Amino acid sequence: MKHFPIFIAVEGRRIVLSGGGEAALAKLRLLLKTEAKITVLAADPAPGITAWAHSGRLTLELRAMAPGDAKGAALFYAANEDAAEDARVAALARRDGALVNIVDNLADSEFITPAIVDRDPVTVAIGTEGAAPVLARAIKRDLEDRLPQALGTLARIGKAFRARADALPFGAARREFWSEYYFSAGPRAMATGGAPALPAALDALMSQHLNTAPRAGRVEFVGAGPGDPDLLTLKARRALDEADVVIHDRLVTLEILELVRREAVLLDAGKEGFGASMAQGDINALMILHALGGAHVVRLKSGDPTVFGRLDEEIEACDAAELDWSVVPGITAASAAVAGIGQSLTQRGRNSSVRFLTGHDMKGFADHDWAALARPGEVAAIYMGKKSARFIQGRLLMHGADPSTPVTVVENASRADQRIVSTTLSQLEPTLSRAAMTGPALTLFGLAPRVAEAALATPDLLKEALS
Ligand code: SAH
């Protein structure tokens, strides 16, 4: 992010603009929506600007900018549509200590003006760092269609009621009150009685909410998927939108944590598989504590919570505390990894079953039925298999697995930095050492990427013809 969006307090402050043509008019139309004091410097202003000056909406100086004109101004706009004059006035304004924007000159501007959706006091600012104004305008149009005009009125009258709504307990109770006001009771009252009907609607809603029993807390075990936010389920998205507290594992990506409701408490349980982390007992205690306090707790686990996620221990803790809980499944790393190499986990004629293994368990390297896995055509998805690669390789070879069995390791499956390393059982350990993977990795035993497989299966003559 090269530009950080903020909302500047301009009420009663000065905004100075140099220029009197089309560019100046366009900016002034926006600036006149603010409660700032606006000064325009233009030797030959467009009639529209003169008219605004006559009606007292801005101060007009019929001359070019001089040193000191931008003293004490919060913002300065150079809108002369003349590069040399813009550079001159921008330098003067900087000396006066104002933040400078040069219209249509991103590189020399200290700030840029976003596309704005105005439902005052609700304001949506859309920026693309100058990269795609067309896109910003399209998003603006889309939001304008979706946000009813009445939203501003609802928000203005709602704001005046905020102090009274504080009588409701902080958290879910208060949120539900506001949600009902904005999305059902408010619009309903507006439709029948217009804005004057809103205060009474708020009163009625308030007494109704004060008389309902507080909601009991609960825990939702939510699968966050392998990392790509687009692979979240709609239920997971909703849970992140509604949670009071989110307790997440370290493998949950930042892009996904971004989607958590801003007011929610975000707690990092630090777990990466069986790695060093907050002790399981502490995670359980934290989860229970918040849920018993009435919070909607989302226990956010990477992939699917039912796969190597120690879900059962956490469910037992909920049961012991008599808390309601539910599970929202997610896409497990194995599914994302096979998708990444264009293969199936099962295939008619090759393997009719697939194993999910962990390279590690709490006691160290995990033991499995190696003899069964070593048979031709077997497929296994190995979680937490990086450190145990040598052990797994040794066990499988010892039990007679074909050294040329394909093995594919997918690091950061589904994420922008996904990496696929394709090798064979005999080369697994050295290949992994060379690859020096730092992200989570899923080892697919018995599978090669479809592209590589196709190349192998293509007769040499055909391969030549194709190349
Ligand atoms: N519940 C998770 C697994 C947790 S165990 C799931 O269903 O995916 C942690 C292991 O999962 C990691 O060591 C790694 O082997 C695997 N893993 C998780 N996310 C991954 C990703 N994006 N790419 C590859 N492997 C991943």
Could you tell me if 367 and 285 lie in one domain? no
CA-to-CA separations, 251 to 221, 225, 242, 270, 309, in angstroms, rounded: 15, 10, 21, 8, 11
Best mutation site among 312, 384, 442 for ligand 1 pocket (most ligand atoms within 8 Å of CB): 442
Q: How far apart are CA 325 and CA 8, in angstroms?
A: 43
Residue linked to tokens 């102090």: 163
Final residue in a domain of this structure, among 298, 331, 364:
331
**pLDDT value, residue 150:** 83
Examine the pLDDT at 464 and tell me if it is beyond 60: no
Could you tell me if 191 and 237 lie in one domain? no
Q: What is the CATH number of the domain that holds 241?
A: 3.40.1010.10
The residue whose C-alpha atom lies closest to atom 11 belonging to ligand 1 is 383
Q: What is the CATH number of the domain that holds 403?
A: 3.30.950.10
Could you tell me if 351 and 405 lie in one domain? yes
Percent of the chain whose pLDDT exceeds 70:
95
Q: In this structure, are residues 350 and 448 in contact, taking their beta carbons and an 8 Å threshold?
A: no
Could you tell me if 283 and 404 lie in one domain? no
Q: How far is CA 311 from the centre of its chain?
A: 25
- Please, which pLDDT band fits residue 246 given cuts at 50, 70 and 90? very high
**pLDDT value, residue 465:** 55
Could you tell me if 223 and 200 lie in one domain? no
- Please, which pLDDT band fits residue 277 given cuts at 50, 70 and 90? low
Q: In this structure, are residues 300 and 220 in contact, taking their beta carbons and an 8 Å threshold?
A: no
**Lowest mean pLDDT segment, chosen from 363-377, 415-429, 431-445:** 363-377
Best mutation site among 249, 308, 382, 437 for ligand 1 pocket (most ligand atoms within 8 Å of CB): 308
Q: What is the pLDDT of residues 389-418, one digit of tens each?
A: 999 999 999 999 999 999 999 999 999 999
Could you tell me if 263 and 341 lie in one domain? no
> Does 449 sit in the ligand 1 pocket, CB within 6 Å?
no
Q: Which atom of ligand 1 is nearest to the CA of 301?
A: 1
Could you tell me if 452 and 360 lie in one domain? yes
Look up the domain containing 165 and give its range. Answer: 155-210
Residue 229 DSSP symbol? G
Q: In this structure, are residues 232 and 285 in contact, taking their beta carbons and an 8 Å threshold?
A: no
> 377 C-alpha to center of ligand 1: Å?
24
| 249 among known catalytic residues | yes
Total structural domains within the chain: 4
> 388 C-alpha to center of ligand 1: Å?
15
Could you tell me if 230 and 309 lie in one domain? yes
Residue 264 lies in a domain: yes
The residue whose C-alpha atom lies closest to atom 9 belonging to ligand 1 is 273
| 402 among known catalytic residues | no
- Please, which pLDDT band fits residue 119 given cuts at 50, 70 and 90? confident
The residue whose C-alpha atom lies closest to atom 5 belonging to ligand 1 is 273
Q: What are phi and psi of 214, to 5 degrees?
A: -60, 145
